[in-house]
Structure formats: C-alpha cells, structure tokens
Amino acid sequence: MSSTLAPPSPRGAPIIGNIREIQRDNIGAFMSAFRDHGDVIRFKGPLKIDLFAHPDHVKRVLQDEHRNYPRPVKVQGCLQTIVGTGLVAAEGGFWRRSRRLAQPAFHREVLEQFADTFVQGTAELIESWERKVDSGTPIDVKSAMMNLSLTNLARALFRTDWSTEFGQIEPAVAEALRYTHKRMTSPVDPYKIPGPARNRFDGALKTINSVLYPLIEERRRNGGSDDLVSLLLNAKDDESGTTFTDDQIRDEVSGFFVAGHETVSSAFTWTWYLLSRNPDVWRKVRAEAIEVLGDRTPTVADLPKLTYTTMVLQESMRLYPPIFVYMRCADQDDEVGGFHIPKGRWVVVCPYVTHRHPDFWENPDGFDPERFTPERMAARHRMAYLPFGAGPRKCIGDSFAMVQMPLAVAMIARRFRLDLVDGQTVVPEPAISLRPRDPLYMRLRSAEEAH
Ligand code: HEM
C-alpha cells in the first residue's frame, strides 16, 4: 500500500503558512527546516512546496522519474516571457528537439575553441587592474566579474565586443531576472498589474531584443563565422530535419544570457570571496598557476593541468551554488522517502541544502577544495553535488563555464591577491542566481609581494 503520510512542516502563521519566511530569506528558511525536520519538508501557505534534500530523492525527481516532474506551469510561463520558446523554458517534444539541435554547439571540444577568447577577456581585465594595484583604491569584484562573464559570453556567441551595447544589455538582463524572480514567488502575478514595475520589465525585454535581433540578422546574412550563434544557425536535427528559425535563435540566445551570465559571475565572485578568507588556498592556486603556466599566456592545453584551481571552483559552487533552486511539479501522485506527494505539488531541490547535507559532507560549512579529489568524488553519492543540475535538464553550458573559469582564476591569482575590504557584511541574495547582495569591495595587491 502506498503511503498517505504527509511530510513534516515547519510551524507557520494561520492561512499564510510559511510564505513570509520564504519570501524574506528562502535559503535561511530551507536550511532551518532541513535541520529541524530532515530530508522531506512540506511548506504551507499560498506557496505550497515540498523540499527534497536527500540525494536519493533528488535523483528520483531530476533523473529517474523526471517525466513525472516537469517545471511548474507558472515557472515556465514566467521564463517564457523572457526567453519565449528557448530551452530554459521549453517542455516536452519541442524542448527535446531544441536540445538536440543546440547540443553540438556546447560540446566541450567546441567550447575549448573559445579558450583563447576567454584568456583574452581575462588579460584585458588584468591590464585594467594594473593601475589600481597597491593604490588602495578598492574594486567592486561583483561588478568586475559581471563584466568579465558578459564579455566572454558576447564574444563566444557573436564574436562581438559590445562596447556600445554593453551598458544597455547588462542592466536589462538584471532587471528581467529580478522581476521574474518576484513573479515566481508572488501568489498574485505582478505582470497582470500594469504600472511602473511592469513597464520597466517590458522596457528591459525591448532593450534585449533591440540588441540581439540585428546581430542575429547580420549573422544570417553574412554566415560562415565560427561563433556559437553561427553554429546554431547552421544546426540541423538529423531526426526531424528541422533547423532553428531566427525567432528561436533569439529565444535561445536570450536564454543563454539569462542562464549563463549571472551564474558564471556569481561563481567567480564567491570564489574571490572565499580565496580572500582562505589565503593558504589562494597560495596553492597561485603556485599551481606558476607551475603550469609560468609567465606565458595560457592555452586550452593547460586546462587539464589546472586541477587544484578547478577543485577550488567546485568547492566554491558547493557552498554557493549559483542557481540555488530547481523547481518541479508532481504530474501524478508519488511516494518519496515514505511520504505521500500529491499530484500538483511543487517540489523544490535546493543544492544549497543538499550540498551541506551532513550525511555526505563532513564539516559542511567549511571551505575545503580537497573534497574534490577524484578519489573522494568517486566515493560520494553522485547526486550529493549538483551545481549544474542533473538528469536530462542538466545545464547545457557546464563546459562553457568550466573552460572559462579555471583559466581566468589561475591568470588572476598568478598576478594579484584580492583582499576583502574590512567592515563589509557579505550577505547571499537568493534572486534567480545566488549573488552577494551588495557590491563586494576588495583591494588588489601584487601577488609577488603578498605571497
Ligand atoms: C557556473 C555557471 C553555471 C551554472 C552553475 C549553471 C547551472 C544550471 C542549472 C542548475 C541548470 C538546470 C536548472 C534546472 O534543472 O531547473 C541550468 C540549465 C541551463 N543552463 Fe546553465 N549554468 C551555468 C552556466 C551556463 C552557461 C554559461 C550557459 C550558456 C551559455 C548556460 C545555459 C543553460 C541553459 C540553456 C539551461 C537550460 C537547459 C535545458 O533545460 O535544456 N548555463 N544551468
């Protein structure tokens, strides 16, 4: 007989249940409910969600029974307003076709061709920092990393520099994400209420389109370049014979901005934060950079040798997973961990919680890159670590991130030490990605002198 048992719930207010805590600090609410109630938790109120923390349950939802757990229609709808038919929001047969079409452009070997582009973007950043080294003038690392990840993304997608578009697209994407997060967590859809907030959001979408459409059109006209958009324009699905239309390409590309810009910059930013708090780890990253790269410009051949740097990034994404909730909805009744999950229930996997599950992580709040040695990784439950998600909807851009990030971190750590400016309270802000809420000020020191 299947279970009729309901999962335990944190105490909540009458009618509104736990919505206040979730809206105020969703990660804090999830962590404290996990500590108090264990692996399956039911939140009450207008946001009816069940949180699954155990890797076995995560595997069931994202992989084994993924057909029973599509994205909630509301989440899909909110994402569709920005990315239309793009992978990020698509479902079913349409999603499968698009994923097949886009996948070859995201193979690691293809993305490795952009290593020189990423190295160049990082070299330019280092150059711009040279003037500030030892000057005592703090830099905002969060904003610098947003610029670096956007530069790298734009150059890989279009081989363009975006000197003029840069100032427009960055706030537009941020505005679109902020508003979408609010929509997803509000019981009443703010998009249905005309007013300044909605106007700002519509304006942001217009800006994104006004930058993307001409670039796509220009690629379609001229063709034959080696950027990612050209690869997508030329992609053909062998099974169905379909290709992407211009509108679909626009949708996919805006999805890459939504999914691939803040995520990468958030991983970079937390990494600098953690390295500033753990100077011994920074020393090891720098020692590896010197040993592998010497003082020459890195190439893609160096990537597999940057093992410690890669482990540091993995550990940074364990503590601060850039996307911190994966939302699904039970299509049919299910039983998970001995509890009844009714049809229609929203189910949340929160990697921030699973990545700190004490059954799988010793000293879960500690920063220890050695957790990611191949031996220790092989001994661990495969779903205890999932910054890029899991199952068929796993991130398509994981290699994009894991090619650019180790190269950039190694290059920067070889040249600079970044010290957190005293007196800042660093608070993670869970919007759509998990970033420090405020600017993150650091002082640059020449690595040689700081060592
Ligand atoms: C550190 C960087 C990144 C992290 C942590 C990350 C994380 C994720 C996660 C967790 C998902 C799945 C969400 C879910 O199951 O609900 C996802 C999906 C996706 N990501 Fe990433 N991502 C990163 C970088 C990128 C980049 C650079 C791109 C593109 C250039 C990208 C494009 C996408 C797309 C298109 C999807 C939707 C895939 C689908 O549903 O088929 N991501 N990402």
SS3 166: helix
pLDDT reading at 362 higher than 70: yes
**Closest approach atom of ligand 1 to CA 390:** 15
In a domain, 38, yes or no: yes
Q: Where are the alpha helices (DSSP H) in 159-195?
A: 166-185
The band of 167, judged by pLDDT with boundaries at 50, 70 and 90, is confident
What value does the mean pLDDT take over residues 416-420?
A: 94
Token duo for residue 34? 């996990």
The Cβ of residue 115 has, within 10 Å, a number of other Cβ atoms equal to 18
Mean pLDDT to the nearest integer, 231-243: 87
Answer whether residue 1 is part of any domain. Answer: no
Domain with 63, as residue range(s), is: 19-450
The pLDDT value given to residue 1? 53
In a domain, 215, yes or no: yes
260 CA distance to ligand 1 centroid (A)? 6
| Distance from residue 253's CA to the centre of ligand 1 (Å) | 13
Name which residue sits closest to atom 21 of ligand 1, judged by CA. 395
CA of 106 to the centre of ligand 1 (A): 11
Confidence check: pLDDT of 224 > 70: no
Tell me the DSSP string of 176-212: HHHHHHHHHH-SS-GGGS-SHHHHHHHHHHHHHHHHH
- Per residue in 287-323, is it b (16+ CB within 10 Å) or e — as a string? ebbeebbeeeebebebbebbbbbbbbbbbbbbbbbbb
Task: Return the CATH number at 349.
Answer: 1.10.630.10
Residue 397 Cβ inside 6 Å of ligand 1? The answer reads yes
Q: Is residue 7 in some structural domain?
A: no
For 385-409, how does the pLDDT look when each residue is reduced to its tens digit (9 = 90+)? 999 999 999 999 999 999 999 999 9
78 lines ligand 1 (CB under 6 A): no
d(CA 310, CA 410) in angstroms, rounded, equals 9
pLDDT digits (tens, 9 = 90+) for 193-211: 889 999 999 999 999 889 8
Reported confidence tier of residue 15, pLDDT bands at 50, 70, 90? confident
- 259 touches ligand 1 (CB under 6 Å): yes
Residue whose pair of structure tokens reads 């957790």 in the numeric block:
371
Give mean pLDDT, residues 424-442.
Answer: 86
CA dihedral of 437, 439, 440, 443, whole degrees rounded to 10: -170
- Look at residue 8 and tell me if it is in a domain: no
Find out whether the beta carbon of 90 lies less than 6 Å from any atom of ligand 1. no
Q: Which residue has the tokens 């996948």?
A: 103
CA of 259 to the centre of ligand 1 (A): 5
Confidence at residue 427, expressed as pLDDT on a 0 to 100 scale: 86
Average pLDDT over residues 17-39: 86
Give the pLDDT of residue 220: 82
5 belongs to a structural domain:
no
Average pLDDT, the chain: 91
- Which residues define the annotated binding site for heme? 395
Place of tokens 């938790």: 41
Number of folded domains that form the chain: 1
264 lines ligand 1 (CB under 6 A): yes
